[in-house]
Structure 1
Amino acid sequence: MTALARRNALQLGLAALGTGALAACTGGGHGRGDGPHTGSGSGADAIELVSSDVRRAAGDPGLVAPVVAGLDRFAGRLYGALATTDGNLVLSPYSVLVALGMTLTGAAGATAEEMRSVLGVGDLGDRWHRGVNALTAHVEGLAGRQRRADGSAADLDLETANQIFGQRGVGWSADFLDLLAKEYAAPIRAVDFEAATERARVLINSWVEERTRERIVDLVPEGALDNLTRLVLVNAIYLKAPWEQPFEKELTAPGVFRRGDGSEVEVDRMRRPDLTGGLVTGDGFRAAVVPYAGQRLAMSVVLPDDGAFGTVEAAVAGDGFARLLAGAAPAAIDLTLPRWSFRTQAPLGDVLKELGMPTAFDDERADFSAMTDEDLFLYISAVLHQGFIAVDEEGTEAAAATAVVMRTESAVVTEEIVVDRPFLFVVHDVEHHTPLFVGRVTDPTA
């Protein structure tokens, strides 16, 4: 069937649908079910949450390692594609993977095969979703009250949430919704993209802002949705993590940071002369592993040798971040690190096509037939991502959100590391090296 014929058939189908009921699904972002209930509003711009008794499953912890291995390769390729432009960069490969994973639950045929290849599903097949579920549970389990080695306590906040916004009146497949509920704890909210597009956009952005403590704002920009939008799948992640050993503010002082082009800028440089952390020494780089409170989460600051920044980035794009994080040896580090804060907004559609999943974006060939029981043709019109990070003497605050928009048609040695030139960073859990946030700092003042 041609796109025009599909469009004509779709218009007839939508006219026949009227205001039918939305299929039910589970409730509960942050990994918790809300229980069976229906919330409703009134008017064309109302929002409705419909939940079923399907609860989030436990996932399969034995699949976490292969899921993280695939995620790491995906993170490297995604970073490499975005790093072709100049400037600072922050993104959450984890968030992108989860949002696309939810979308994959409704894909079929060549569309699904391409998506599995890009996401690193490998031979896990549908078990991959159980692994993502278990990984999310592991990530969420890193949060809470932490006890530092010196006996002090600190709160580490790390939350994730998934939400689906679907066109009111569409009969979504029960299998599709049940899988989203079971492995992603993703409830569906009925909105009216047709008659109240802007209201739906505002509601989506408000949900993201609430889940990210207003660090991610206007994830879905004006014009990204229209009256042919049928589904928006969203993941949000928020982190506020204090250091295991906070930097002393009295030691923060102005200093020089050399940009990649050789120019210099004055920045505020923090210093911890007695950091107990980890040290990775590799081909063309050194990395300081700086633990957060409780030492189950860390930031690895990857400092390429002079003249080797491009080589290290190219290696990341080809092999992922794992080799930058593996083999850390306990070390006492005299660490000097700039303070920085910035955000990145990145449309990922063209990037994902280039990485190997063009069919999902093709309005002639995309196959998301598993999403709905109706004769409704769907394709991805946009994948929107925004990341935020702020690093200071106390710790790190970071947030990210991703929206998939679907349209119809050893011995302790003291090492001195002065981070005074462009560097990469990875916020990761210590056990699996899951790349929760990655990026680079080319100018801390930008």
Structure 2
Amino acid sequence: MTHPVEALAAGLLGRLAARPGNLAFSPYSVAVALAMVQHGAVGETRDELLAVLGASDPAHLDRDLADLARRLREPGDDVVLTAANALFGQEGTSFARPFLDALTHGYGTAVHTLDYAADAGSARRDINAWTSEQTRARITEIVPQGALGSATRLVLVNALYLKAAWERPFERTRTADAAFHLDDGTAVTVPMMRPRLAPTHLGRGDGWLAVPLPYAGGRLVMTVVLPDVGRRAEVEEAVAGGGLPAMLASPEPTEVDLRLPRWTVRSQVPLKEALAGLGLRRVFSGAADLSAMTTDERVAVDEVLHEAFVAVDEDGTEAAAATAVVVRATSLVPSRPRTPVVLDRPFLFVVHDAELRAPLFVGRVSDPTT
């Protein structure tokens, strides 16, 4: 069965790909946040959450995410990877003990009490401060002004941070300006990097090339997927249709003469509409049954807020993501021929676990200069 993070990566890319320009999101962060909400859901509301996550039942969902979390606790030397969860609940609201136990014991969720009714602005600042601390100040405002109010009853937040050195570093002295061709036919000048030692694997498929770039220790990998000229939309559709695992598993031993631009991508993505398009509807409506969360009053999810940051340079990658669910009332080898792969046009990237291939960050670089 598809890992819940893979299922969500495919579904969200399918819904978000129509957005123009650069894109980044963390299916892992969103999956963890929705999995926590699932523990407060009952009946059809829970079934919809499980379906969007591609999970057969809550126990399998928890197990799959726990297995991945255990692998991520030891990402390797020269790699920092941290994840944290928090529940910010309304003062005076009684939350069901099984719900709190599932979050604290299963997801390590810290529980905080705030007073949205008295001062939603102060509550917002506290949530943003916690998120900023967890993401090394890369995500400083996951909850925008106006997102909380007196009807807010809780906010569930997942925060993810990565700083990883390449296993095969790029040499800054080999970086040189080159053209990057945009979708509209124009070109921009970007610093194009070359690794000191050539990548040793290349994947090929219908309309695309894929190059895995391991981070130090080999537990995590960034795979860049370069569509053939004129086939980007087709390749993104293939990913959304479930083709990502095959792309990540495809590389064969081949020396690659790689050119890769530096880039920094930041995306703020409210996910309510995208998730509704994937079939998650009841949880956002008056029909939501979150009675396993609280029985003090009927509650529903008001918004799923998400932001991701990914920066790539010669040394490695720094990336961060946060998801907030707002709930309201109601070595050197001999030289061989190398396959050239020049990422001089829009391409996809996936930061993923090397063994499970579960994606932590997914995105598209349409213009490295923006």
Q: Same fold (TM over 0.5)?
A: yes
Paired position in structure 2 for 1:366? 288
CA contact (8 A) 2:117 2:149 kept: yes
Q: Is the 8 A contact 1:209 1:217 kept in 2?
A: yes
Structure 2, gaps ≥5 residues long? none
1:141-167 CA distance string (max 9 Å, x none): 214xx2xxxxxxxx2100000000001
SS in 1 for 2:143: coil
Does residue 350 of structure 1 match 2:273? yes
State the Cα distance separating 1:320 from its structure 2 match. 4.6
Query: Could you tell me how far apart the structure 2 residues matched to 1:222 and 1:129 are?
Result: 33
Is the 8 Å Cα contact of residues 277 and 331 (structure 1) preserved in structure 2?
A: yes
Contact 1:277 1:290 in 2 (8 A): no
The equivalent position to 2:352 in structure 1, one of 417, 425, 428, is: 428
Query: What is the aligned partner in structure 2 of residue 437 from structure 1?
Result: 361
What displacement does 1:273 show? 5.9
Alignment of structure 1 residues 110-125 onto 2, 5 Å: 110-122=44-56, 124-125=57-58
Equivalent residue, structure 2, for 1:85? 19
Structure 1 position 108 matched with structure 2 position 29: no
Code of the residue aligned with 1:441 in structure 2: it is V
1:130, 1:178 → 2: CA distance? 16
Distance 2:60 2:45 in 1: 18
* Deviation of the 1:342 alpha carbon: 2.1
Equivalence map 1:53-92=2 (5 Å): 66=1, 69-92=3-26
Distance 1:206 1:304 in 2: 39
Corresponding letter in the other structure for 1:397: E
Instruction: Render the CA deviation track for 1:149-189: whole Å, top value 9, x for unaligned.
Output: xxxxxx21000000000011111111110111121011210
SS at match of 1:172: coil
Secondary structure of 1:274's partner?
A: coil
Percent sequence identity is 48
Which SS does the other structure have where 1:426 is aligned?
strand
Q: Quick one: distance in 2 between partners of 1:130 and 1:169? A: 32
What TM-score, normalized by structure 2, do the two folds share?
A: 0.96
Separation (CA, whole Å) in 1 of partners of 2:109 and 2:200: 37
Residue 130 (structure 2) pairs with residue 207 (structure 1): yes
**1:33-62 deviation line (CA, Å, top 9, x unaligned):** xxxxxxxxxxxxxxxxxxxxxxxxxxxxxx
Which residue is equivalent to 1:377?
Answer: 298
Structure 1: any 5+ residue segments left out of the alignment? 1-65, 147-154
The answer as to 2:197 corresponding to 1:197 is: no
Q: CA deviation at 1:278?
A: 2.0
Specify the code of the residue in structure 2 equivalent to 1:390: A
Structure with greater Cα Rg: 1
Preserved contact between residue 79 and residue 163 of structure 2 (Cα < 8 Å): yes
TM-score (norm 1): 0.80
Counterpart residue number, 1:328: 251
In the alignment, is the contact (CA less than 8 A) between 2:116 and 2:123 conserved in 1?
Answer: yes
Verify: 1:127 aligned to 2:60, yes or no: yes
The answer to whether the aligner puts 1:306 opposite 2:239 as a matched pair is: no
Q: Name the CA distance, whole Å, in 2 between partners of 1:387 and 1:227.
A: 28
Comparing 225-234 with 322-331, greater Cα deviation is found at 322-331
Residues of 1 paired with 2:84 and 2:310: CA distance?
Answer: 18
- What is residue 140 of structure 1 aligned with on the other side? 73
Contact 1:253 1:268 in 2 (8 A): yes
Matched residue, 1:414: 338
Q: Partners in 2 of 1:232 and 1:375 — Cα distance?
A: 16
SS in 2 for 1:360: helix
Partner of 2:326: 405
Do the aligned partners of 1:70 and 1:120 also contact (CA within 8 Å) in 2?
Answer: yes
Determine if the alignment matches structure 1 residue 233 to structure 2 residue 233. Answer: no
| 1:239 counterpart letter in structure 2 | L
